Structure 1
Amino acid sequence: MGSWKETCENFIKYLKTQKNLSEHTAQSYRSDLKHFLQYIESAQISEPAEVNLKIIRNYLSQLYEAGYARSTISRRLATLRSLFRYLCQVGKIDNNPLVLVRTPKQTKYLPQFLYSTEVNDLLDNPAGKGKLEIRDHALLELLYSSGIRIGEAVQIDVGDVDFERRSLRVKGKGQKERIVPFGNHASAALQWYMMEGRPLICGKKNPSTTEPLFVNWRGKRLTTRGAYGIINKYLKKVAPARNLTPHSLRHTFATHLLEGGADLRSVQELLGHSRMSSTQIYTHVTGERIKAVYEKAHPRAKERK
């Protein structure tokens, strides 16, 4: 198995250097590859060239039988596609066994979002004047106002915020930079955090431009996991019965923009989506909501008794 592990590590290095893969995504690839290598070990396959279509199909069958979600199977299959494409490029194998394998059809779920009243409750929730509540309020306001990902928010440095233009420099997937605007409420919350909350947490004022914007209670950069925990805490208070996640704030941002009359292309740019298909899901969300409102309000929309 030594050659397999070495091959997979070389593959990860290739993705990080040539494809600008983030460390978070690299860990996801490693997890998928580790699972595949366990199967390869049990099947006593020592070299990549020994892997054929039958072996790949047997592996996928095991995933289905184990009850994995289609989204998980699709992701693991995508990882294997990338791996074997790489092996072809570097001359480790002559034929790619994944060429004839179909990707399973995805179960389509509409993204969960918050209603306007829930957003107001959420943003009013960190009501205390403590240093951590000031930080939490600024984080929540910024996420709803800008639609950025949690992972993008924690990467923001002090120098990435332009209060005069009310804009952020954000590093998205693949370390692609984009400029994102934010609103008055977020600006006020961020400025209050920079003047009062952050100095109390870090024990100093006037941070350098390269220091992290959002910090944990020890004054170190807030991690993605830490931010998730903070946001989940407030979501549970606002909507304990709903299956909301921190990513729901990004969904809410996009849904509310479209409902307010924004065009799809602008929303795509703001979200940092490389493909329009990623943004089009929100047209289904707004369509479903409009339909629900119609059926509730129109006297001839209800079923006849």
Structure 2
Amino acid sequence: MKKENTAIEKTTFSVLDLVPVTQGSTIKKAFENSLELAQRVEELGFKRFWISEHHNTESIVSSATVVLLGHIAQGTSKIRIGSGGIMLPNHSPLVVAEQFGTLESLFPGRIDLGLGRAPGTDQKTAMALRRSRQESPQEFPKDVQQLQKYFSAENVTSDVRALPGEGLEIPLYLLGSSTFSAELAGKLGLSYAFASHFAPTHLHSALNLYRQNFKASGQQEKPYSMACVNVIAADTDEEAERLATSQKQFALGIIRNQRKPMPPPVESMEELWNEGEKHTIQQMMHYSFIGSEETIRKQLSVFIEETKVDEVMAVSHIYDHEARLRSYEILSRLNKTAKNPFFDDSDL
């Protein structure tokens, strides 16, 4: 047990929220649940709370990401708030700099800017978002560097300035599900987050490439890596497995291009998917930690030892909101038991 705790106690834990809509509920309720979740995990000692940008889907309503981040930041007091991420091809770097400059000015020292190079939607919707902009993911490195320029104090003499934004220390995080952003994050000396919660294939190669290419920068003196994983915790392994069927149905909807609100759990998935779909979803959910506190402690300890990540970001696709809150409470006990440096009992 000592070896397992050693791995966990060196790792920071955070939260990614997709702002899911559940079957039979409303978009407004999804927003309310997201805020309540942020407030609860803040109490539990999690480091940061990120929201991801998605568009044109009934199951996830985080499309106006910056607006939601402001809502969450207003309703919390100390947890870091950020994007996991802003899909940069959809936006002008200047607008992103101004928006996050505004957030940082309103909530100083609490804002993270995670950046992705995918559209976060289908191609038709991506074109509608970009309108006449001839943008592609291949422009991503230039856009990131343009953002850095807008945030720099040296940009004061430029004809185009981000106000607010200029001179503010807003940390950038590059997000990815392949090796492209890993190498770029290393070369630019930025923190790197891998989306292993839905695209596990290149996790280890991306982390290795990031560390091999890392060059110290004004933001980071040494590599800082994060991995997003699925965590569904409950009082028993059996209950956790039952709760996890909502996420499996959610993944099944993605495969079938039927992105409806998240359904309630079922007793068995066998009548809902075929063997091919089952295999695909099992591959997608490879880095999913499902079970009781002790089960998840063992699973996560192995994952942390193998990947050597500095931070684990947990996403929990759970239909029942109270069960989702409970899942994060159980996860927080791993941090508390291990005396994680960001967890302070005096804050509770």
For the aligned pair, the TM-score class normalised by the smaller chain equals under 0.3
Q: Which has the higher helix share?
A: 1
TM-score by length of 2: 0.24
Q: Rg bigger for which structure?
A: 1
- Compare relative contact order (CA 8 Å, sep 6+) and give the higher one, 1 or 2: 2
TM-score by length of 1: 0.26
Q: Which has the higher strand share?
A: 2
